Structure 1
Amino acid sequence: MINKKIIVVGCGSIGARHLKNLFSLRIKNLVAVDLDQKRLENLKRDIPNLKTYKGLETALRKEKGIDAGFVCTPTSLHIPVALKLAEAKINLFIEKPLSHNLKGVLKLVKLVKGKKLITMMGMNYRFHPGLKLIKQIIDERKIGKIYSIVAFGGHYLPDWHPNADYRKEYAAQKKLGGGVLLTSIHGLDYLRWLVGEPKWVFGHIDKVSNLEIDVEDVAFAFFETDKRIKVSIYTDFLQRVPQHGLDVIGEKGTIKWNFYENKVDIYDPRGKKWISKKFKFETNDMYIDELKYFLYRLKLRKHIEDLNIEDGAKTLQLALAVKTNYSIRKYFSFSNEN
């Protein structure tokens, strides 16, 4: 058993997944907070000795010595919940995206720095074996200079969580911080991770379907990095057959990744052939791996520099730039809050 006490705030799909994964990693001292009593009762059947509360304030008052808090609420509530946990000197794991705007972000950054808290964003695709391989190939310049990268994906929102009414999910509601751009922000995050920071960005979002939502269901962005790499990304809530992949164009070769086929294809122009790298992979593996990384850093009391909330704020600002369709000239500054 790992001697850590962890509270998870928000026990919908991702919160429940984290609780079950933490339990599988031998974290036995778990606390769950959610307004839905039925959710909590279902989780108690799966996780022995799980402590449950319908309010965060009550949980923080009664539960002492909490080592880390997982923020898994609807997006618009991330910052208020994170601030309460940080005030209680609790290390933070915040699900993507950091928020739906920049309000309160600077306050949270200053607070966690002042209290020397460990923070991590829930960006599980950075732990995907295919993307990790591509990152290694790019960093080691195995296909030379990178010219461009194209990411694409999409899924049909009503099929996302088949047992739920999609109209009631946070992704479908503006007031909860929904919309395809923020819901699928993983793409913008791993593109920054793979090829660097944008110098400018052009974006377009729209609502084109008959889905009963008040947010965008399609998003497109194009940007150039500080290394002059051209990047584009497309995502939507519309595709009946989900897809997720990317192409990387380099001076000495091409890389193709397909999430659903569990493989990375690398074109070798010298041999004029494709080389396939296949791997065994289950979707939950990357969620487990990100938890292991967070728990390891928590155990050593080592701060996470590459995936902390400041990094999450950079990805958020890029998404907001796409939403408002403007060019970034001084990319990412906390000097002012929006």
Structure 2
Amino acid sequence: MRILFFGLGSIGQRHLDNLQAILSERHLEATIEAFRSYPVKETDGHFTKVKMLYHPDEIVGDYDIVFVTNPTNQHYSTLIQMFDRAKYFFIEKPVFESVKSIEKIITKNEQCYVACPLRHKLIYKKLHELVNANSVHSVRVIASSYLPSWRTSDYRNSYSAQSSQGGGVELDCIHELDYIIDLFGLPNQSYSTIKKVSNLEISSNDHASYLLDYDDKVVELHLDYYGKYNRRNIELITNKGLIEVDFIKNTISQDGNVIETLPEERNDFYINEMNYFIDLTLQGTVNINTLKQSLETLKIAIGEA
């Protein structure tokens, strides 16, 4: 296989490390190249087996897989640039920073996978079973965290802080909306409030709340960058009581009592996702998050549904 990465920031490096480990484990041969806008340090062990490219003219020929892990506002132009030169695309979430026309690239809809790592957690698979086994009347979802604690460097310089680069909690934390739609489908109507409300020194939005209306249920979603106590959970109010799934503690609770814990390391679900994607490229397994699907999610996320 011939593989090309666009962008090797923190998430790109994670995907690269996981990919290399899986290729070795599965005895798959591949050459890996990476296009970056600036040189890397020679001492950086991530890149010893990667051919680095620093000018577009160095991108020559066709590829089996292209990883689009550069800033969100560059995703669309990267896809257009490489559309005819790659068989499969792994696109980091969110797919774009704004709604784009995908008419030029729609023929590769099934070959474009948009990352949705939470769906590869063990506890998410259990959540799916619980939703199918219960009559769910309403749902509350929250993802609250403190942006300055995310970053090892100054959070004010991160892409998350820059609206011009596709930052903002409505895009950064699109995971929640993605899995809500996977669980319940697209809502009949959606309402949103997306704005900056805290004193964080950022130009992007730090708050997003949504109300999603379905025939038989209502879903409330809260996202923020300013919460000092990390929370990432979903509450299902069902005909049998309250079910809560905590994605940080990896616990399932019934009416306030923990009934199951599914321990998992932080990188495990990224490994699961990468194995899934390799199967998609080699065996043609079903693409669970195509360009079209991710674009519908994006429309709701930015309040344009």
Pick one of 296, 299, 302 that aligns with 1:320: 302
2:278 aligns with one of 281, 295, 317: 295
> Matches of 1:150 and 1:68 in 2, distance apart?
37
Shift of 1:275: 5.3
Contact 2:251 2:258 in 1 (8 A): no
The secondary structure found in structure 1 opposite 2:226 is coil
Q: Distance in 1 between matches of 2:19 and 2:127?
A: 28
Correspondences of 1:83-94 after superposition (within 5 Å): 83-94=80-91
1:54 is aligned to 54
Q: CA deviation at 1:309?
A: 1.2
For 1:280, what is the secondary structure of its paired residue? coil
Say whether the 8 Å CA contact 1:79–1:104 is kept in structure 2. Answer: no
How does the TM-score come out when normalised to structure 1?
Answer: 0.83
C-alpha deviations, 1:72-100, integer Å up to 9, x for none?
A: 11111111111222121331110111101
Query: Aligned Cα RMSD in Å?
Result: 1.9
Partner of 2:144: 154
Give the structure-2-normalised TM-score. 0.92
Q: How does 1:1-338 map to 2 (within 5 A)?
A: 4-26=1-23, 28-38=30-40, 41=42, 43=44, 45-55=45-55, 57-61=56-60, 64-110=61-107, 112=108, 118-139=111-132, 141=133, 143=134, 145-162=135-152, 164-225=153-214, 227-267=215-255, 274=257, 276-302=259-285, 304=287, 306-321=288-303, 328=305
* C-alpha distance in structure 2 between counterparts of 1:252 and 1:29, whole Å: 53
SS of equivalent to 1:26: helix
Partners of 1:182 and 1:42 lie apart in 2 by 33
Query: What do residues 143-192 of structure 1 show as CA deviations (whole Å, max 9, x unaligned)?
Result: 2x110111001111111122x22122111111111111111100100010
**Greater CA drift, 79-88 or 24-33:** 24-33
Amino acid at match of 1:171: S
Aligned residues: 300
For residues 34 and 237 of structure 2, the distance between their equivalents in structure 1, rounded to whole angstroms, comes to: 45
Identity %: 27
Query: How many Å separate the matches in 2 of 1:120 and 1:147?
Result: 31
Partners of 1:36 and 1:16 in 2: CA distance:
15
Provide closer, same or farther for how the CA distance between residues 279 and 60 of structure 1 changes in structure 2, counting only shifts above 3 A.
Answer: same
Alpha-carbon separation, structure 2, partners of 1:58 and 1:159: 38
Any conservation in 2 of the 1:156–1:237 contact (CA below 8 Å)?
yes
**Structure 2, unaligned stretches of length 5 or more?**
25-29
Distance 1:184 1:129 in 2: 19
Whether the 8 Å contact between 1:195 and 1:229 is mirrored in structure 2 is no
8 Å contact 2:62–2:86 — kept in the other structure? Answer: no
Task: Look up the SS of the partner of 1:212 in the other structure.
Answer: coil
In structure 1, distance between residues paired with 2:142 and 2:39: 38
Distance in 2 between residues matched to 1:109 and 1:171, nearest whole Å = 28
| Distance in structure 1 (CA, Å) of the matches to 2:302 and 2:103 | 16
Paired residue secondary structure (1:70): strand
- Displacement of 1:15 after TM fit? 0.5
Preserved contact between residue 170 and residue 208 of structure 2 (Cα < 8 Å): yes
- The SS at the match of 1:292 is helix
Residues 303 and 245 from structure 1, CA distance in 2 versus in 1: closer, same or farther, beyond 3 angstroms?
Answer: closer
Q: What's the counterpart of residue 332 of structure 1?
A: none
Runs of 4 or more consecutive aligned structure 1 residues displaced over 3 Å after TM superposition: none
Whole-Å separation in 1 of the counterparts to 2:89 and 2:76: 11
Q: Is the 8 A contact 1:101 1:320 kept in 2?
A: yes
**Is the alpha carbon distance of 1:301 and 1:130 closer, same or farther for their aligned partners in structure 2, counting shifts above 3 Å?**
closer
Match of 2:27 in 1: none
Question: What letter matches 2:188 in structure 1?
Answer: K
Q: Distance in 2 between matches of 1:303 and 1:89?
A: 19
Mapped contact 1:69–1:93 kept (Cα < 8 A): yes
* Equivalent residues of 1:105, 1:313 under 8 A apart: no
Question: How far, CA to CA, are the matches of 2:156 and 2:48 in structure 1?
Answer: 32
- Does the aligned pair in 1 maintain the 2:53–2:59 contact within 8 Å? no
Q: In 1, distance between residues paired with 2:179 and 2:154?
A: 29
